[in-house]
Amino acid sequence: MASRTFDKSLAARLGTAGFVILVGLLIVGPTGHLLANALLGRGSFDLGPAISVLTQRGTVQAIVNTIIYVVGVSVLSVLIGVPLAFLAERTDISPTAKRAINLAVISALITPAFLTAMAYVNLLGPNAGVINVWLRSLLGLSINRGPFDVYNILGVLLLGAQQSVAFVFLIAAAAFSKMNPELEEAAAISGAKRWRIVATVTLPVVRNSIFAGAILALASALADYGTPHMLGFTVLTLRIRTYMLQADFVSAAVVSLLLVAMSLVVLALYRRSLGKGSFATVTGKSFHPSPFRIGRARHVLTFVAYAYAFLSVVLPVLGLLSTSLLERLGFGFRLDNLTLQHYADIIGGDGFVLRAIWNSLQLATGAAMICAVLAAFVAFITVRQRGGASILLDYIVVIPLGIAGTALAVALIMTVTSFPLRDLALYGTLWILLLAYVIRQLPLAVRPSQASLMQVSPELEQAARLAGANWGQTMFTITVPLIRPGLIAGGIIVFLSCLTELSASIILRHIGTDTIATAIMDLWDGGGGYQRASAVAVVVFVAMVALVAAAQIITGRSLYDDRDSM
């Protein structure tokens, strides 16, 4: 009996070790090929090529622009996201205004950032932007450009911060809603003004959460491709694609490796900030901080909430919709200039868009299913088992959160075209895209699964084992059914993220393997015009909203309700 128990224990440890190695190779392995191509590209260790690439004028400018972009986006995200979270969680503005903020945040999470940038280019483009054309006509201005121009550093940063604001909001809102109100009450009793309580008590209590949100915003900006591309602001992600188009693989590997190194530093800061937690008092009490009475400012701040929702959701949708209905740009909304032809071309055109949509649906479905299966095993090992392997696995699976899609794409190309995978001929197929999606989105599936398993008592699994069930039977008859809601939620998040993935797809796609995001980008860049690209974007936005609504009905949970898993 003891021998059999020992054998089972040994088999479990070997199985865990094997799974950790498999996930490690899947996530960390491609980075090894980046390192090899960057430093061993000439057959021996040589820093010369790397130094040469990193000192090129174009690369230096891309590094400077990247620093400006990620710092600027992070600062703006905190300056916008934290006040919005405070408004929604701690003030007495109207419930409708709070719902408007929450819906705007959810919309930012599900809408690809490049679509928002596209919308504002349609609205505020200096030449044919809808708002500019309308203002020039209304004011009788004899100019061909302006008066607004989105192609500037402020426009780049504001549009780049759209999703990052949502990340900061979710983390800060969770902290505000669960903080211990006793410190604030003590300050109020001592006679402190409301603004002083917020500045000296409330914000210091949640400052670690705010810092975590800022770091997450920085990581998101570091990996961004779509917004800088739309606005012509060259950052490292765009520089990588330039080298790949030039077939300069060594230079692409060097810049990708630099971006990976920067991303891992940011990710380490993020994990450290989460480890510190907050200064909230942890007790057995259930806290519900009372809202701040903001008096006359209530109406002004309610207007601010509506304005944010309008600028971040309503106006971008109107921008895409208006452009998609124009036959010719720059001629205004005259009856003879309105058409539905761009929507008809999606279905009755050359099939390019429909093929891209079908490819994205296949990839998103496949990635969601694979990530859900892997997440179940990762959750079990990291939550139920204790030891070095589980800790190592927990660190490994979050690495893709900090790696830009363009860098991962370059790493995968070098991996699948090298021994021993080159004979599989994955490059140029949907399989390499699927591999990229699984690697990038796995952390999004793991977190809900871990959260679900933490709520399940291990006694149920222990009872099954005592009744004679082996590990596999226990896993698939007890554990998986109990954490099914988390697996489904994670799978849905992965599906939605993959459906409009751009940064990896723009590098990995090939003839016949275009996706929704790359199709929109190709149309925008001259393959079909702004109007047709906007029509596809409107269809994608409507589909995403419908999918989220259906997912919330199926799972009975809201994306906003899952904010604690950030």
Residue 556, φ and ψ in degrees, nearest 5 = 70, 20
Higher-confidence position of 559 and 178: 178
Q: How confident is the model at residue 280 (pLDDT cuts 50, 70, 90)?
A: very low
- Percent of the chain residues topping a pLDDT of 90: 39
Condensed to tens digits (0 to 9), the pLDDT of residues 217-270 reads 998 999 999 999 999 999 999 999 999 999 898 899 999 999 988 988 888 887
Instruction: Read off the tokens for 463.
Output: 């009872």
Give the C-alpha distances (Å, rounded to integers) separating 123 from 271, 291, 329, 371: 39, 38, 11, 38
Write b or e for each residue in 142-157: b if 16 or more Cβ atoms lie within 10 A of its Cβ, otherwise e.
eeeeeebebeeeebbb
Residues forming a β-bridge with 91 = 292
Q: Is the pLDDT of residue 154 over 60?
A: yes
Look at residue 287 in the predicted model and tell me its pLDDT.
57
Condensed to tens digits (0 to 9), the pLDDT of residues 25-74 reads 998 889 888 888 888 766 667 788 889 999 999 999 999 999 999 999 99
Look at residue 184 in the predicted model and tell me its pLDDT.
72
Residue 41, φ and ψ in degrees, nearest 5 = -60, -25
Higher-confidence position of 386 and 488: 488
Q: Please give the full DSSP string across 267-287, using - where no structure is assigned.
A: HHHHHHHHHH--S----SS--
Q: How confident is the model at residue 409 (pLDDT cuts 50, 70, 90)?
A: very high
Of residues 379, 322, 368, the one with CA closest to residue 497: 368
Condensed to tens digits (0 to 9), the pLDDT of residues 467-522 reads 877 777 778 888 888 888 888 888 988 998 999 999 999 999 998 999 999 999 99
Q: How confident is the model at residue 9 (pLDDT cuts 50, 70, 90)?
A: low
Q: Which residues touch 221 (CB under 8 Å, ≥6 apart)?
A: 69, 70, 73, 74, 160, 161, 164
Q: With contact defined as beta carbons under 8 Å apart, do 201 and 183 qualify?
A: yes
Q: Please give the full DSSP string across 37-72, using - where no structure is assigned.
A: HHHSTTSS--SHHHHHHHTSHHHHHHHHHHHHHHHH
Q: Is the pLDDT of residue 453 over 80?
A: yes
∠ at Cα 221 (215, 227), nearest 5°? 160
**Residue range(s) occupied by CATH 1.10.3720.10 in the chain:** 53-282+296-317, 340-566
Q: With contact defined as beta carbons under 8 Å apart, do 184 and 146 qualify?
A: no
Condensed to tens digits (0 to 9), the pLDDT of residues 79-124 reads 999 999 989 988 888 889 999 998 899 888 888 889 999 999 989 9
Q: With respect to CATH, is domain 340-566 assigned 3.20.20.150?
A: no
3-state DSSP call for residue 483?
Answer: coil
Q: Which of these ranges, 140-149, 329-338, 397-406, has the smallest mean pLDDT?
A: 329-338
Instruction: Read off the tokens for 386.
Output: 């204790």
Q: Which of these ranges, 84-88, 99-103, 143-147, 435-439, has the smallest mean pLDDT?
A: 143-147
Distance CA(155)–CA(65), nearest Å, equals 14
Q: Is the pLDDT of residue 331 over 60?
A: yes
Domain 53-282+296-317: CATH architecture, name and number where available: Orthogonal Bundle (1.10)
Look at residue 2 in the predicted model and tell me its pLDDT.
46
Give the C-alpha distances (Å, rounded to integers) separating 26 from 208, 448, 521: 32, 21, 29
Q: Is the pLDDT of residue 281 over 50?
A: no
The chain-wide mean pLDDT, for the chain, equals 85
Burial of 529 (0-12, 13-18, 19+ CB in 10 A): middle
DSSP H helices in 385-515: 388-396, 405-416, 430-454, 458-466, 471-474, 480-482, 484-499, 505-508
Distance CA(274)–CA(266), nearest Å, equals 13
